[in-house]
Structure 1
Amino acid sequence: MERPLDHIEAFEEARPMLTGLAYRLLGSRAEAEDVVQDTFLAWDAANRDEIENRRGWLTSVATRRSLDVLKSARRSRTEYVGSWLPEPMETAQEATPETDFLMSESVTMAFLLVLERLAPKERAAFILHDVFGMEYAEIAESLQVSEAACRKLASRARVNVRSAGNTRPAPKHIQERLVEAFQAAVTTGVADGLAALLSSHAVLTADSGGKADSIRKPLRGAEVILQFVTRYLSRWYANYQVAVAEINAQRALIARAGARTEAIVTFAVGGDNRVEEIMITRNPDKLRRFDLED
């Protein structure tokens, strides 16, 4: 007997929200999609006639499953080779009701890295309340804590997020200048434009997971970064085709060898519109979805 489509359609309506929630909690699109699939299986098996608040029920299931995955992920990330960065995600340049959950300012790489430093339940309480606008009573039920404890979790997270500085996308004209300056630096070896945009205490981080040629420790300071970009990256990038894309709600660069994606370069910009961090994703496990079709 064929299943009725009404509950499938109801789930599909919630899918962008659930994917956005799980991605912010986990920093991994692949893990987020697994969580959403698990949530669908739970929804498919549930007695839906007894569910009064569909959004709340789905959110609770996705949150709890994400927290389970996060516990395991945190253990594995302590053994990660080199620096860890969130999995990049391509975002639409124009928001629609379907894409809004996946492309707002709360999916920038800088924001996701701040979330990574929070305790799991702090992260969940903050995201559910401050990003998704849920009431504390509903969040407390999802996290299986008291409402008062839930408020404290979100408050602590909020303080940490604010103290981390700017996590919002840079103005579009700054993003354009930045990608142009970085491209000029790696293609010509002349980094004057990039130097003008770098904070003196900027950091360059690369994530390879030990599966690709890359630095293992962050480089700190504008002078060190400029030397690395002009002396090393300029030679490396000469072997690839570099294109501009919209990644995590900001302009970024994708380097490819033919159809295969070899690196994604994203940027975190401070409140003074200077680059605080350059992030290079080299781990092939995080790049496969960006490969072109042969």
Structure 2
Amino acid sequence: MAQEEDDVSAFEATRPMLLGLAYRILGSRAEAEDAVQDTYLKWQNADRSAIENPGSWLTTLCTRRCIDLLRAARNARVDYVGAWLPEPIHAPTDAPTEVEPSERLSLAASLQTAFLLVLERLTPKERAAYLLHEVFDVSYPEIAATLGIQETTCRKLVSRARANVGQSKVRYITPLHRQEQLLAAFQTAVASGGTEHLSALLSDEIELCADGGGKVSSLLEVLQGKAEVLDFIGRALHAYWGDYAWEATDINGGRGVVLWKDGAAAACVSFAYDEDGAATNIYIVRNPDKLARLGGDGGGGQGGGREAR
């Protein structure tokens, strides 16, 4: 009985990291939870006395399961209606106190919608290798063993991924006061239809995309430029969202908002910024399947990197 309790404790100690890794690989909390559950079931059925390093064993199993799920998901997205966005999660920027401040920022930045969308450009193995090394600080030899490849190949995967991600300049956090300022201006613009104040906070190349998944009415194309975006906010969103209840909250490591109607989440909005703090992207998730968990405890996905070591 004591051994069983120890085995459960060993898994639970690793679960936050596994869930954080799985979410970043898959962009879906639902699929991440499935991957972690599959890992737990195999852990239960394994000869645990032969496992020298439970953390590495669990990370390997979970990563491989996530790669399989990601390949299947990408095939399914061929028929996805409109823009695809990651499932939003409640994920605050304040990581556990044992995590260094610089690492907290890194963890928060690696949850941002803009960052997760950049990861979509990578192959499944590039994505897994990059996240394990750059976010969770796993060594190259361990990653190579996890992916079943040579260490030199692993280094090349991470190098290619790093170059691709680095070109996008998405791994930084805009100061909180700037995020709050934009969120307030966005809410005012939707409520009043006046967009003058919001306009000053947007990049000239601002883009707005919405993910309805073909399940609710939503934009099918990406809006580009201030004129299109501000017109849509001041006209369409002002008309559509007038009776929604607003809840400002932490979404994917930054300030965002969940809009509620009749007790259910009807939309989730998050933002991306440039180096000067101007908003470059507005992401609106309307797909009800991706909003279902926003009313829960919201703990998934954050996950620290320390447990991976």
What is the TM-score normalised by the length of structure 1? Answer: 0.95
Q: Which residue of 2 aligns with 1:147?
A: 151
Q: Partners in 1 of 2:111 and 2:56 — Cα distance?
A: 22
Give the letter for the 1:196 counterpart. Answer: A
CA contact (8 A) 1:90 1:248 kept: yes
- Deviation, structure 1 residue 132: 0.7
Give the letter for the 2:51 counterpart. Answer: I
- Deviation, structure 1 residue 197: 0.9
1:192 aligns with 2:196: yes
Give the letter for the 1:42 counterpart. Answer: K
The runs of at least 4 aligned residues of structure 1 exceeding 3 Å deviation read 97-103
Q: Which residue of 2 aligns with 1:117?
A: 121
**Does the C-alpha gap of structure 1 residues 109 and 79 become closer, same or farther in structure 2, counting only changes over 3 Å?**
same
**Does the C-alpha gap of structure 1 residues 69 and 285 become closer, same or farther in structure 2, counting only changes over 3 Å?**
same
Query: Equivalent residue of 1:210, what SS?
Result: coil
**Does the C-alpha gap of structure 1 residues 205 and 167 become closer, same or farther in structure 2, counting only changes over 3 Å?**
farther
Query: Equivalent residue of 1:107, what SS?
Result: coil
Q: Which residue of 1 aligns with 2:81?
A: 81
Q: Partners in 2 of 1:291 and 1:248 — Cα distance?
A: 15
- Deviation, structure 1 residue 102: 11
Q: Partners in 2 of 1:255 and 1:66 — Cα distance?
A: 30
Deviations 1:16-40 (A, max 9, x none): 0000000000000000000000000
2:260 to 249, 256, 259: 256
1:162 aligns with 2:166: yes
Q: Partners in 2 of 1:7 and 1:161 — Cα distance?
A: 37
Q: Partners in 2 of 1:60 and 1:98 — Cα distance?
A: 24
CA contact (8 A) 1:16 1:102 kept: no
Cα RMSD, aligned residues only? 1.9
Q: Partners in 2 of 1:284 and 1:82 — Cα distance?
A: 14
Structure 1, unpaired ranges of 5+:
none
- Deviation, structure 1 residue 171: 0.7
CA contact (8 A) 1:255 1:263 kept: yes
Q: Partners in 1 of 2:284 and 2:133 — Cα distance?
A: 31
CA contact (8 A) 2:106 2:135 kept: no
Query: Equivalent residue of 1:287, what SS?
Result: helix
- Deviation, structure 1 residue 175: 0.5
Deviations 1:235-278 (A, max 9, x none): 11102111101111111011111311000010011112111100
Q: Partners in 2 of 1:90 and 1:160 — Cα distance?
A: 27
2:291 to 277, 287, 290: 287
Give the letter for the 2:66 counterpart. Answer: S
Q: Partners in 2 of 1:97 and 1:82 — Cα distance?
A: 40
- Deviation, structure 1 residue 103: 5.5
Query: Equivalent residue of 1:104, what SS?
Result: helix
Give the letter for the 1:71 counterpart. Answer: R
What is the TM-score normalised by the length of structure 2? Answer: 0.91
1:238 to 242, 246, 252: 242
Q: Partners in 2 of 1:266 and 1:98 — Cα distance?
A: 27
Aligned length: 293
Query: Equivalent residue of 2:134, what SS?
Result: helix
Give the letter for the 1:144 counterpart. Answer: G
Q: Partners in 2 of 1:113 and 1:98 — Cα distance?
A: 29
1:31 aligns with 2:31: yes
Q: RCO higher in 1 or 2 (8 Å CA, sep ≥ 6)? A: 2
Give the letter for the 1:52 counterpart. Answer: E
Deviations 1:37-84 (A, max 9, x none): 000011111111111111111110000000000010000111100000
Q: Partners in 1 of 2:285 and 2:108 — Cα distance?
A: 21
CA contact (8 A) 1:91 1:102 kept: no
Q: Partners in 2 of 1:273 and 1:281 — Cα distance?
A: 22
